[in-house]
Amino acid sequence: MASSLAVFAAGCGSSTNNTATQSTAPAPTAAAEKAAATEPAKKKDVSIKVFQFKVEIADALNKMAQEYEKETGVHVDIETHGGGEDYGALLKAEFASGSEPEIYNNGGYAALKPYMDRAVDLSNEPWAKDLIDSAKLPTTVDGKLYGMPMNTEGYGLIYNKDLFAKAGITETPKTLSQLTDAVKKLQAAGITPFETTNEWWSLGIHLVNVAFANQDNPAQFIEDLKAGKTTIKGNKQFEDWANVVDLIFKNAQKNMLTTDYATQVADFAAGKAAMMQQGNWVQGDIDKVNAKLNLGVLPLPINDKEGKVYIGVPNNWIVNSKSAHPDEAKKFLNWMVASETGKKYLTQEFKFMPAEKNIPATPEQIGQIAAATQAQAATALGWHWDRFADGTTQGFGAAMQEYQGGKINKDQLLEKLDKAVQDIVKK
């Protein structure tokens, strides 16, 4: 599909050719105009680099970059790091090596502070006015916007409706007691209740966030935690949260300690378990295995109050002021959310829930998981891991892996989560 820029350029050329004072050449035929409009843009001697960590969209993102080059002539080099790699450490190493990518990912809040010397103010970009208000929060500093929210995402317990029906589960479990009853019915039917993973980021970021998000005031609790005014051990919400963690670990597949993210998603998609704690970002990978799965999203409870799903901005596109082409980077970001090609990739290929109010997204475009998550958005809780300095969640993940492996007990887990915060604060 030709961009509006390409069509406009073709229109200017034909207008000039049709002006008698400029030229007596005959007007181009409709076929010629169509060919000009669809002809790839002339290649420019410009290349921008994107340093990003969403492995699940890596292939589609590369294809989108190729589309952008066809339409604009600007080459976009995508470098993806994720799937267990420590993206933050790799980004720091990238800068230390002297490489300055035009665009890099960042979660915002505390995670943005070390990079403010490179972040371009994007407040006046055309797309900024269309953002969902909550999506602006992670990268808004002193009233200025320093990142484009990539999208919004949500997670809970993705479940296989057909396996639930096979086990005789007729009501959607919303509390911990109801979820426990559902697990018993699945076990009785010979169905593995949970497919889980040993990945530090899934355990230390998404699963631990459930306890933080259920605090009365998550942001204040985290600030008090960092200041040493409160602790995780002894906190009621964390004590409750440990019960749902136990429910998952004790009723998961036998090889959970060696199950990476890709295997977790593939095995769930193959029908080997009824539930999986992940988010709408897995839709594309599930579809590759079985696009006909009948899926829903359960809230993730910690006690006998109704659980919630957890929605936030997974990361933001930050434009690097120290790179060679920051203005070209801004053009690329605007193209992603303004052009028909870009919007198609965001919704239909990436399966994203857009962060912009003006980008429509149907369940058919973004998938069952995103649609089921969006349906619970009014009561959803937030994402809070980026309120911690880099390195903290890695500590959370290491403690969770020890607990998953049975090397430490619940009290030791909560103590290690506290230690992970204080170890970073003291640096």
> Which pLDDT belongs to residue 427?
76
- Domain of residue 74, residue span: 42-152+314-359
- Please indicate whether residue 28 or residue 365 has the higher confidence score (pLDDT): 365
70 and 205 together in one domain: no
Q: What is the mean pLDDT of residues 41-53?
A: 87
Asked if residue 36 belongs to a domain, the reply is no
Here the CATH number for the domain that contains residue 73 is 3.40.190.10
Residue among 1, 63, 75, 73 at smallest CA distance from 37 = 1
> Which pLDDT belongs to residue 32?
44
CA dihedral 231, 424, 199, 370 (to 10 degrees): 70
Q: What is the mean pLDDT of residues 124-132?
A: 96
54 and 180 together in one domain: no
210 and 242 together in one domain: yes
> Which pLDDT belongs to residue 41?
65
Q: Is the pTM of this model over 0.85?
A: no
202 and 67 together in one domain: no
Count the neighbouring beta carbons within 10 Å of the beta carbon of residue 12.
10
> Which pLDDT belongs to residue 207?
98
Band (40; pLDDT cuts 50, 70, 90)? low
Q: What is the mean pLDDT of residues 34-42?
A: 52
User: Which domain-ending residue is among 359, 391, 415?
Assistant: 359
C-alpha distance across the termini of the chain, in Å = 52
249 and 208 together in one domain: yes
> Of the ranges 21-30, 243-252, 282-291, 302-311, which one carries the lowest mean pLDDT score?
21-30
Tokens 């993102």 correspond to: 61
Asked if residue 24 belongs to a domain, the reply is no
Contact, 320 vs 326, CB < 8 A? yes
Rounded to whole angstroms, the Cα distance separating 427 from 422 reads: 9
Task: Please provide the average confidence, as pLDDT, over all residues in the chain.
Answer: 90
Contact, 306 vs 175, CB < 8 A? yes
Q: What is the mean pLDDT of residues 47-64?
A: 94
55 and 202 together in one domain: no
Q: What is the mean pLDDT of residues 217-225?
A: 97
Residue among 192, 306, 179 at smallest CA distance from 245 = 179
> Which pLDDT belongs to residue 293?
96
Q: What is the mean pLDDT of residues 349-361?
A: 91
Contact, 79 vs 357, CB < 8 A? no
Band (227; pLDDT cuts 50, 70, 90)? very high
> Of the ranges 47-56, 77-86, 130-139, 219-228, which one carries the lowest mean pLDDT score?
77-86
249 and 275 together in one domain: yes
> Which pLDDT belongs to residue 397?
98
177 and 137 together in one domain: no
Q: What is the mean pLDDT of residues 113-133?
A: 96
Please give the C-alpha separations between residue 159 and each of 155, 265, 269, 360, 398, in angstroms, as whole numbers: 12, 12, 10, 26, 27
Asked if residue 25 belongs to a domain, the reply is no
Residues 264-275 have pLDDT tens digits of 999 999 999 999
298 and 182 together in one domain: yes
Residues 274-331 have pLDDT tens digits of 999 999 999 989 999 999 999 999 999 999 999 999 999 988 999 999 999 999 999 9
Band (93; pLDDT cuts 50, 70, 90)? very high
On the question of pLDDT at 34 being above 50, the answer is no
User: Which domain-ending residue is among 328, 359, 390?
Assistant: 359
Residues 336-348 have pLDDT tens digits of 999 999 999 999 9
> Which pLDDT belongs to residue 4?
31
Asked if residue 28 belongs to a domain, the reply is no
Asked if residue 30 belongs to a domain, the reply is no
307 and 321 together in one domain: no
Asked if residue 3 belongs to a domain, the reply is no
84 and 200 together in one domain: no
Asked if residue 220 belongs to a domain, the reply is yes
Rounded to whole angstroms, the Cα distance separating 100 from 91 reads: 10
Count the neighbouring beta carbons within 10 Å of the beta carbon of residue 326.
18
Band (82; pLDDT cuts 50, 70, 90)? confident
> Which pLDDT belongs to residue 26?
43
Q: What is the mean pLDDT of residues 123-135?
A: 94
- Please indicate whether residue 256 or residue 23 has the higher confidence score (pLDDT): 256
322 and 173 together in one domain: no
Asked if residue 327 belongs to a domain, the reply is yes
Rounded to whole angstroms, the Cα distance separating 185 from 206 reads: 26
On the question of pLDDT at 418 being above 60, the answer is yes
Q: What percent of the chain has pLDDT over 90?
A: 81
> Which pLDDT belongs to residue 148?
98
Q: Report the domain count for the chain.
A: 2
On the question of pLDDT at 3 being above 60, the answer is no
> Which pLDDT belongs to residue 329?
98
